[in-house]
């Protein structure tokens, strides 16, 4: 390994390590106990719910979508749009640091995985075929999120 390659390797490992440090850390056992089977499958096993089966793909309610694993606010309903995909879709997260994006090579093409920045839970993927203003489509799993209506506590 050349010194340049070694430097690159160390840099990559550092980044990997940084990316795996989350504010909310639980053992696999604890996650299993605190989530429903479907939430666990999506959030902790990077599963994908079947299109049109989730509770939020069709929802137009006004409020905020939070992580089902840790309650971290993820998406505002104002950024939600009807993608026709069968999964809840958004043009942007509620805040830049709400989510974490990483390369996913689990299929034969590269996708960008979206995770909760607070607990590392898998939420879905982001694609570049979304509408204006961002051109992005955050394609999420309903099972990874809980909805909190804005009027509920007013
Ligand atoms: Zn979370």
Topology annotation, domain 3-149: 2.170.150
Give Cα separations from 134 to 21, 37, 123 (angstroms): 28, 34, 19
139 is catalytic: yes
Q: Where are the domains positioned within the chain?
A: 3-149
Task: Report how far ligand 1's centroid is from the alpha carbon of 7 (Å).
Answer: 32
- Say if CB 48 and CB 141 are below 8 A apart: yes
* Distance, CA of 69 to CA of 121 (rounded, Å): 7
Task: Report how far ligand 1's centroid is from the alpha carbon of 89 (Å).
Answer: 18
Tens of pLDDT along the chain (154 residues) come to: 567 776 776 666 656 555 568 999 999 999 999 999 999 999 999 999 999 999 999 999 999 999 999 999 999 999 999 999 999 999 999 999 999 999 999 888 899 999 999 999 999 999 999 999 999 999 999 999 999 999 755 4
Task: Report how far ligand 1's centroid is from the alpha carbon of 116 (Å).
Answer: 5
Out of 67, 70, 119, 139, which one is annotated catalytic?
A: 139
Task: Report how far ligand 1's centroid is from the alpha carbon of 133 (Å).
Answer: 26
Residue 154 pLDDT: 47
């Amino acid at each position: 390994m050349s010194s340049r390659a070694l430097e690159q390797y160390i840099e990559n490992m550092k980044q990997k390590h940084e990316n795996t440090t989350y504010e909310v850390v639980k053992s696999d056992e604890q996650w299993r106990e605190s989530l429903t089977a479907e939430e666990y499958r999506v959030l902790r096993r990077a599963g994908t719910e079947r299109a049109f089966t989730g509770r939020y793909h069709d929802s137009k309610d006004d409020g905020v979508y939070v992580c089902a694993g840790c309650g971290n606010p993820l998406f505002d309903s104002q950024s939600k749009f009807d993608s026709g995909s069968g999964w809840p879709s958004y043009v942007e997260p509620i805040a830049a640091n709400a989510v974490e994006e990483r390369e996913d090579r689990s299929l034969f093409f590269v996708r960008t995985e979206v995770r909760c920045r607070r607990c590392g839970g898998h939420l879905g993927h982001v694609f570049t075929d979304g509408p204006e203003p961002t051109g992005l489509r955050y394609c999420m799993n309903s099972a990874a999120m809980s909805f909190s209506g804005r009027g509920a506590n007013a």
